[in-house]
Amino acid sequence: MPRSDVFLCELCPKNCRIREGQSGDCKVRIVIDGELRAVTYGRPCAVHVDPIEKKPLFHVMPGSRIFSLATAGCNLHCKFCQNWTISQAAPEDIRNVPLSPHRVVESATSQKCRSIAYTYTEPVVFYEYVLDTAALARQAGLLNVSVTAGYINREPLERLCDVVDASNTDLKGFSDAFYRELCEASLKPVLDGMITMKERGVWLEITNLVIPTFNDDLDMIRRMCKWILAYLGPETPLHFSRFYPMYKVRNLPPTPMDTLMRAREVALEIGLQYVYVGNVLGTEGESTFCPSDGTLLIRRMGFSVLENHLLNDACPTCGRKVPGLWGFRDT
Amino acid sequence: MTHDKTSAAVAAFDSAPAAGQLWAICWASWSRRDFLLMLGMIPLTPALRLAFHGRESLLSRKPALFAKKVSGVAPTGQCSAEA
């Protein structure tokens, strides 16, 4: 094997060793001219204004608009990825637009967005872009939201927590085998990362995509909920999301509604207080209820907020405070 | 080829400059009369992709954080990560 300068990328637990002209596993950190470079910095491949419910974040400024962007690349390779056309692409292979951090913040403000989401692919791999944009966004009074698989080393995560206000973290399954076989990653760093975010004051919501036969076992779901209860607390919102056939997993049907509703029941029985069902329309699992007296607090349909009865961030009936970053409402 | 020979060939290919990689792909395709192979192989390496697209216009040169230079044997392929 040839000997040459090798760079160790310590951003994520893959700890890639990369040499000149090569990229890390994420495809977007490449050694060029003797330096490891974040080649998608300032070059997003997707830029949209979304409802914040789409992230999903149900306890952060409900009904508000969130400026959302992504660059190519991901450090996971989930066989069921819903955004694989951009997450699994190399940056040269898809269309990118130049958009500096300043322009992102200007655009978000002019689009009347209250927050910026680093989403669609994996913000960990465009880490430097997130850091710079988030710092400017915070100065402009915008919240920063990371929608992530949470596969990142502790030190970079801690630095990220200084500028990120909220995160929806994908907990893809509650077994290391699942992560290794379907995502080319491992479970422990994700769990450790969520604990770190919680400790550092980042508002955390969790999404679990329920895939038939892969991670829909109720025992696994029960163990996951117990872990969330023990380490992140009962007030951590959990979203069970419906799977649709995608990418390399096209041989399975969409998640049956019964499975999602049973998963929600299990989570509520274990003691989690805010459990939602996503990627489906018209169930009570889309709405927020007071854990004390069952009062309907926020009624949602898809990505729309139909009713918001929160009064000073609390249940209007019993006065129980509901955790979240409620801030202001556009509804 | 044995595994060792394959690894050595991959390592030699990876360490070649873009022009050398392109020549190797053309030669392999010609020798097997398989031009689809050539088209399929061109996007395989970042070096070739960069050479074809022009890195200045497509890619940022922002230095990455949490990167350090280490000595040792370079891996083959893109990443030696243990996932």
Is the Cβ–Cβ distance between A158 and A201 less than 8 Å?
Answer: no
Q: How far apart are CA A307 and CA A300, in angstroms?
A: 7
Is A39 in contact with B53 (Cβ distance < 8 A)?
A: no
Provide the pLDDT for residue A54.
95
CA distance readout (Å), A326 to A66, A100, A203, A272, B35: 14, 29, 11, 20, 59
Provide the pLDDT for residue B10.
64
Distance of CA A221 to the CA centre of its chain: 19
pLDDT tens digit at each of 83 positions of chain B: 444 555 566 667 766 777 787 788 788 777 776 666 666 666 555 566 566 555 555 688 899 999 999 876 555 445 544 33
Is A9 in contact with B64 (Cβ distance < 8 A)?
A: yes
What digits encode the pLDDT tens for the residues A251-267? Answer: 999 999 999 999 999 99
What digits encode the pLDDT tens for the residues A238-254? Answer: 999 999 999 999 999 99
Q: How far apart are CA A24 and CA B83, in angstroms?
A: 12
Q: Which of A4, A40, A155 sits opposite B74 (nearest CB)?
A: A4
Residue A95 three-state SS: coil
Is the Cβ–Cβ distance between A280 and A257 less than 8 Å?
Answer: yes
Q: Which of B15, B50, B68 sits opposite A2 (nearest CB)?
A: B15
Provide the pLDDT for residue B50.
60
What digits encode the pLDDT tens for the residues A107-150? Answer: 999 999 999 999 999 999 999 999 999 999 999 999 999 999 99
- Which comes out higher in pLDDT, residue B27 or A307? A307
Provide the pLDDT for residue A29.
95
Q: How far apart are CA B28 and CA A235, in angstroms?
A: 60
What digits encode the pLDDT tens for the residues A181-194? Answer: 999 999 999 999 99
**Minimum CA–CA partner of B82 in chain A:** A14
List, in sequence order, the alpha helices (H) in chain A: 84-87, 101-110, 127-139, 154-161, 176-178, 188-199, 218-231, 257-270
Pairing of strands A304-308, A296-301: antiparallel
Mean pLDDT rounded to a whole number for chain A: 95
Residues of A in contact with B70 (CB under 8 A): 6-8, 17
Provide the pLDDT for residue B81.
44
Band of pLDDT at residue A330, cut at 50, 70 and 90: very low
Provide the pLDDT for residue B49.
59
Q: Quick check: B57 contacting A, CB < 8 Å?
A: no
Residues of A in contact with B18 (CB under 8 A): 21
Q: Characterize A71-92 residue by residue with b for buried, 16 or more Cβ atoms within 10 angstroms of its Cβ, and e for exposed.
A: bbbbbbbbbbbebbebbbbbbb
Residues of B in contact with A40 (CB under 8 A): 59-60
Band of pLDDT at residue A156, cut at 50, 70 and 90: very high
Is B62 in contact with A128 (Cβ distance < 8 A)?
A: yes
Q: Which of B50, B64, B74 sits opposite A2 (nearest CB)?
A: B74
Is B68 in contact with A8 (Cβ distance < 8 A)?
A: yes
Q: How far apart are CA A165 and CA A161, in angstroms?
A: 7
Is the Cβ–Cβ distance between A173 and A215 less than 8 Å?
Answer: yes
Is A41 in contact with B62 (Cβ distance < 8 A)?
A: yes
Q: Quick check: B63 contacting A, CB < 8 Å?
A: yes
Provide the pLDDT for residue B80.
47
A19: amino acid identity, one letter:
R
**Minimum CA–CA partner of B73 in chain A:** A3
Q: Quick check: B54 contacting A, CB < 8 Å?
A: no
The two three-digit tokens of residue A260, written as one number: 């999602």
A56: preceding bond cis by omega (within 30 degrees): yes
What digits encode the pLDDT tens for the residues A54-74? Answer: 999 999 999 999 999 999 999
Distance of CA B22 to the CA centre of its chain: 10
Length of chain A as a residue count:
331
Is the Cβ–Cβ distance between A134 and A119 less than 8 Å?
Answer: no
